[in-house]
Amino acid sequence: MKVRYSYLPQQFGNCPDLWSKLKKFVKSGDFTLGKPLLEFEKKFAKLIGTKYAIGVNSGTDAIKLSLKTLGIKHGDEVITAANTFVATVGAICELGAKPVFVDCDDSFCMDVNLVERKITKRTKAIVPVHFTGYMTNMIALNKIAKKHNLPVVEDACQSILASINNKNSGTWSDFGAFSLHPLKNINVWSDGGIIVTSNKKYYEKLKLLRNHGLIDRDNVEICGYNSRLDTFQAVVGNWLIPTAKKIANKRIQNANFYDQNLGKINGILIPPRIKNYKIVYHLYIVFAERRDELLKYCQKKGIEAKIHYPIPMYRQNAMKFLKHKIGDFPVSDYHAKNIISFPCDQHLSKKEMSHVVKCVREFYS
């Protein structure tokens, strides 16, 4: 039995209602900063529970433009998580700033207890990453940020509709940066991203930054970027938004099934599930003994299990300039060696999940 990782053919293979919306849109020719984009931004802000949302061309740019709005520049230091996807770090580096890593804990997010010792005179922002659909402890992080007068940009790319005490990811700080990439929980047909903020000044600045700094057709107010969310993709986004909560809930349900069944297997350890945290399982990850052998075994049985990620960012060649030594971030290292991800998406069947559980049980018995 095959258990595929990508569910995109199931999600978009048969959607005549979306095609008819797209056809109508194409006839309108409203391709750049068009009406469906404004509609999508309004709906997204409402979904997340914030005032403003600004569509941009990727999750990476959502982080970059947020940092740019704060004036982050060459020589500044930006604190972020050591075990994130490259895009978080890429956004910081693109502005000439230096990423300063903080190790994670077993929630896969930044260990907030380690943040304060990383703050220097040059620190200008903190970018927590709500990795896997978990959430960074924003209550503790915001206290530190406030004490040191540092702005915070949440990398919420993997955590649409995750929350702590029912307050959604992306709304805990100055900016929330989301990705709409095909592999993310709310996904369009191309690259895409969206920033949320409740600060009107930031909102106005972001609108300029994403569109060449143009205040109108003829006047360029500041130097900006070409980073608009395609209106065509916003049509796809508008089609998805009504199902967003259902997608999150289905993933949570699937994860609960895995937790209950994989949790009984000697050799598998389920990460902590904190009570007042809603985890949306962009990735479903557990700790596994003899991980490499288990991965091979699952793949042989047709299960597209994966590792997110086998090499922590701080050990990548691109980060050599930071001069870290192996072992500087021991929890990230431990994770890279001991975690495994299984498909957990909303289109996965009970049969497929049972096959995963059966194979893992077989492996350890």
Ligand X SMILES: *Cc1c(COP(=O)(O)O)cnc(C)c1O
The stretch near ligand X (CB under 6 A) out of 155-163, 195-203, 208-216, 342-350 is 155-163
3-class state of residue 6 by DSSP? coil
Per-residue burial over 31-49, b = 16 or more CB atoms within 10 Å of its CB, e = otherwise? eebbebbebbbebbbebbe
- What minimum distance in Å lies between the beta carbon of 243 and ligand X? 20
Which residues is 278 bridged to in the sheet? 163
Cα-based angle 230, 50, 96 (whole degrees, multiple of 5): 60
Binding mask 6-45 for ligand X (x = CB under 6 A): ----------------------------------------
Query: What part of residues 160-189 is at the interface with ligand X (CB under 6 A)?
Result: 179, 181
DSSP at 228: P
Judged by CB under 6 A, does residue 84 bind ligand X?
yes
Chain residue whose CB lies nearest ligand X? 59
First-to-last CA distance in the chain?
A: 20
Judged by CB under 6 A, does residue 205 bind ligand X?
no
Query: How far apart are alpha carbons 289 and 282 in whole angstroms?
Result: 23
Relative orientation angle of helices 291-300 and 350-364, to the nearest 10 degrees: 130
Please select the residue that binds ligand X; options are 41, 155, 345, 352, rule is CB under 6 A.
155
**Checking DSSP bridges between strand 163-164 and strand 123-127, what pairing results, if any?**
unpaired
Judged by CB under 6 A, does residue 233 bind ligand X?
no
Please, which residue, 36 or 133, has the CB nearer to ligand X? 133
Binding mask 38-77 for ligand X (x = CB under 6 A): --------------------xxx-----------------
Judged by CB under 6 A, does residue 191 bind ligand X?
yes
Query: What part of residues 116-135 is at the interface with ligand X (CB under 6 A)?
Result: 129
Query: How far apart are alpha carbons 221 and 206 in whole angstroms?
Result: 12
Please, which residue, 59 or 170, has the CB nearer to ligand X? 59
- Whole-angstrom CA distances from 26 to 23, 188, 232 are 5, 16, 8
Neighbours of 309 (CB within 10 A): 17
Q: Is the peptide bond before 52 cis (omega within 30 degrees of 0)?
A: no
Contacts with 39 (C-beta within 8 Å, 6 or more apart), sequence order:
234, 238
The stretch near ligand X (CB under 6 A) out of 65-73, 152-160, 327-335, 339-347 is 152-160
Please, which residue, 58 or 211, has the CB nearer to ligand X? 58
Please, which residue, 60 or 168, has the CB nearer to ligand X? 60
- Asked if 356 contacts 3 with a C-beta cutoff of 8 angstroms, the reply is yes
Neighbours of 294 (CB within 10 A): 19
Total residues contacting ligand X by CB under 6 A comes to: 15
Relative orientation angle of helices 59-69 and 86-94, to the nearest 10 degrees: 40
- What minimum distance in Å lies between the beta carbon of 299 and ligand X? 23
Please select the residue that binds ligand X; options are 85, 108, 172, 281, rule is CB under 6 A.
85
Please select the residue that binds ligand X; options are 158, 163, 187, 231, rule is CB under 6 A.
158
Please, which residue, 65 or 265, has the CB nearer to ligand X? 65
Q: Where does this chain bind ligand X (CB under 6 A)?
A: 58-60, 84-85, 87-88, 129, 155, 157-158, 179, 181, 191, 193
